[in-house]
């Protein structure tokens, strides 16, 4: 057991059932908690009142309140983690740095550099699995290669699964009180000091009660019904994937399968990081996109003349959320009807979605474009009208966001869907020959 260690909170903003925090408490006499606002990540955030930044900030305030009751402080840094974190560890004479693993390419590169820096100081950086139940190297084919199709991945995932994987890590009990290093009062930086202001949007609490989960398989495709709103909480770790999966295991296999989709896309991103900027299937990079900027702006604003597409985009712009069924419809429309590069849509979603997560967002857009690992065939092109008739026949969802529907104020369709479909098929066939 070492004298002092640092635990670095990242995508795990909670004291309960936190793997890295638990390991730090187990292996150290004293533990110092730290969080860092990464300037490289914040520089990509375009809106100064981004609700995700406000959510993180408020969660840190809540964490700090809990820690102050235990006699310590959450240190909050702002800068380049490759410089700030090793300096913090050295300044506080810590022997070990603990954190939970992150599988995104930037995070992997960042952690590798920090590990090398600490090793040169004679210190260790220990990473633990926390944001997934089964990690990217745990669900592989019999030959050791990664799965690239969801269904066989899901079956292997379930064959590898044991309920013991959902056992919580007791990181918020008596050990937490004993091992946290006393610290002097240290105020968090203000949002304005970070370059942001308080957001007008509130991140909703997730819905995971038994009634919701038991009916999930019946309502999951109907946009007029509320969904769990869990994505943002898993993204930033305010909810433990183990406790969420345990509820799904008890009440809803359909919901469990969606959580496995999340881990599938993380596995794809980890094994095939080129998907961040390129198509998973390289031949799809030869598509001759039209990329009309004015048409893209109409799509962004929800002014396409296709009610379900417009409802989805307006919901996104207004609330930072969009129902998953509608996400598929608006993505198909952008990529197939307008022949606009899926990366444009992916980037817009990344800017607007409260529950944005690189792996799932990238996987979903490549699925819609047909370019992904487990994609809809390129000739599958969603018809917005038939999708509306099937999933919102009474216009309950659409009228919430497109109140002018049925009046002369509503726009005419910006394209003829049948003609656009023929055009898309022609362009795709030519690229894939």
The answer as to whether 237 is a domain residue is yes
pLDDT at 379: 86
Q: Looking at the structure, tell me whether residues 284 and 425 fall in a common domain.
A: yes
Neighbours of 87 (CB within 10 A): 13
Same domain for 145 and 32, yes or no, is no
Query: Which of 130, 156, 189 corresponds to the end of one domain?
Result: 130
Whether 284 and 427 share a structural domain: yes
pLDDT of residue 377: 80
- Tokens matching residue 254: 């359909």
6's tokens: 């640092």
Cα 335 to Cα 102: distance, rounded to the nearest angstrom: 30
**What contacts 174, CB < 8 A, 6 or more positions away?**
none
Q: Is 197 contained in some domain?
A: no
Chosen domain end from 74, 102, 130: 130
Tell me which residues of the chain have a pLDDT lower than 70.
184-185, 375
Tens digit of each residue's pLDDT (9 = 90 or more) over 216-256? 999 999 999 989 999 999 999 999 999 999 999 999 999 99
Cβ atoms of 145 and 131 closer than 8 Å: no
CATH number for the domain spanning 312: value is: 1.10.579.10
The CA distance from 110 to 129, in Å, is 17
Co-location of 98 and 231 in the same domain: no
User: Which residue range is the domain that position 221 belongs to?
Assistant: 132-166+207-271
Question: Is this model's pTM higher than 0.85 or not?
Answer: yes
Q: What is the CATH number of the domain that holds 7?
A: 3.40.50.620
Same domain, 282 and 423: yes
333, 370: one domain:
yes
User: Could you list the active site residues?
Assistant: 258, 261, 289, 324, 342, 365
d(CA 135, CA 130): 9
311 and 267 belong to one structural domain = no
Q: Are residues 91 and 219 in the same domain?
A: no
Residues 237 and 279 placed together within one structural domain of the fold: no
Q: Which of 130, 151, 178 is the last residue of a domain?
A: 130
Q: Please indicate, yes or no, if residue 368 is contained in any of the structural domains.
A: yes
Backbone region of residue 350 per phi and psi (left: phi > 0; alpha: psi in -120 to 50; beta: other values): alpha
Distance CA 84, CA 37 (A): 10
In a domain, 79, yes or no: yes
105 and 158 both lie in a single domain: no
- Position 305 in a domain: yes
CA dist 47 to 193, 195, 205, 321, Å? 15, 10, 22, 16
Same domain, 106 and 158: no
pLDDT, residue 185, reads 66
Number of domains in the chain: 3
Q: Are residues 263 and 280 in the same domain?
A: no
What is the distance between the alpha carbons of residues 239 and 233, in angstroms, rounded to a whole number?
6
CA distance 397 to 388: 9
Instruction: Sheet containing 96-100: give its strands across.
Output: 75-79, 28-38, 2-9, 96-100, 124-128
Q: Residue with structure tokens 């890590």? A: 169
Examine residue 185 and state whether it is found in any structural domain, yes or no. no
């Amino acid at each position: 057991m070492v004298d002092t260690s640092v635990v670095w909170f990242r995508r795990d903003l909670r004291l309960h059932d936190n793997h890295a925090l638990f390991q730090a408490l187990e292996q150290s006499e004293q533990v110092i908690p730290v969080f860092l606002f990464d300037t490289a990540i914040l520089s990509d955030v375009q809106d100064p009142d981004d609700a995700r930044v406000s959510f993180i900030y408020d969660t840190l305030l809540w964490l700090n309140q809990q820690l102050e009751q235990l006699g310590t402080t959450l240190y909050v840094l702002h800068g380049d983690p490759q410089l700030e974190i090793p300096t913090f560890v050295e300044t506080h004479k810590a022997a070990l740095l603990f954190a939970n693993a992150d599988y995104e390419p930037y995070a992997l590169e960042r952690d590798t550099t920090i590990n090398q820096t600490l090793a040169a100081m004679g210190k260790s950086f220990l990473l633990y699995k926390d944001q997934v139940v089964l990690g990217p190297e745990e669900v592989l084919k019999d030959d050791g290669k990664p799965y690239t199709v969801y269904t066989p991945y899901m079956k292997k995932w379930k064959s590898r699964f044991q309920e013991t994987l959902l056992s919580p890590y007791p990181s918020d009990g008596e050990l937490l009180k004993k091992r946290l290093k006393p610290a002097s009062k240290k105020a968090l930086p203000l949002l304005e000091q970070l370059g942001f202001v308080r957001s007008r949007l509130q991140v909703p609490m997730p819905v995971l009660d038994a009634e919701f989960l038991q009916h999930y398989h019946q309502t999951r495709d109907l946009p007029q019904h509320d969904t769990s709103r869990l994505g943002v909480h898993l993204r930033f770790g305010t909810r433990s994937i183990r406790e969420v999966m345990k509820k799904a295991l008890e009440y809803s296999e359909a919901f469990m399968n969606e959580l496995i989709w999340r881990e599938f896309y993380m596995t794809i991103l980890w094994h095939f990081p080129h998907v961040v900027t390129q198509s998973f299937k390289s031949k799809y990079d030869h598509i001759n996109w039209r990329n009309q900027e004015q048409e893209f702006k109409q799509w962004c604003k929800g002014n396409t003349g296709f009610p379900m597409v417009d409802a989805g985009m307006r919901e996104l712009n207004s609330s930072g959320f969009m129902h998953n069924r509608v996400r598929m419809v608006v993505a198909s429309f952008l990529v197939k009807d307008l022949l606009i590069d899926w990366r444009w849509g992916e980037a817009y979603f990344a800017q607007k979605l409260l529950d944005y997560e690189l792996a799932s967002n990238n996987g979903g857009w490549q699925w819609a474009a047909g370019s992904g690992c487990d994609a809809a065939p390129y000739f599958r092109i969603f018809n917005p009208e038939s999708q509306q008739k099937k999933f919102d026949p009474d216009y309950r969802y659409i009228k919430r966001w497109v109140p002018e529907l049925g009046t002369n104020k509503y726009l005419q369709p910006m394209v003829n869907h049948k003609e656009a479909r023929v055009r898309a098929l022609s362009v795709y066939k030519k690229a894939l020959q």
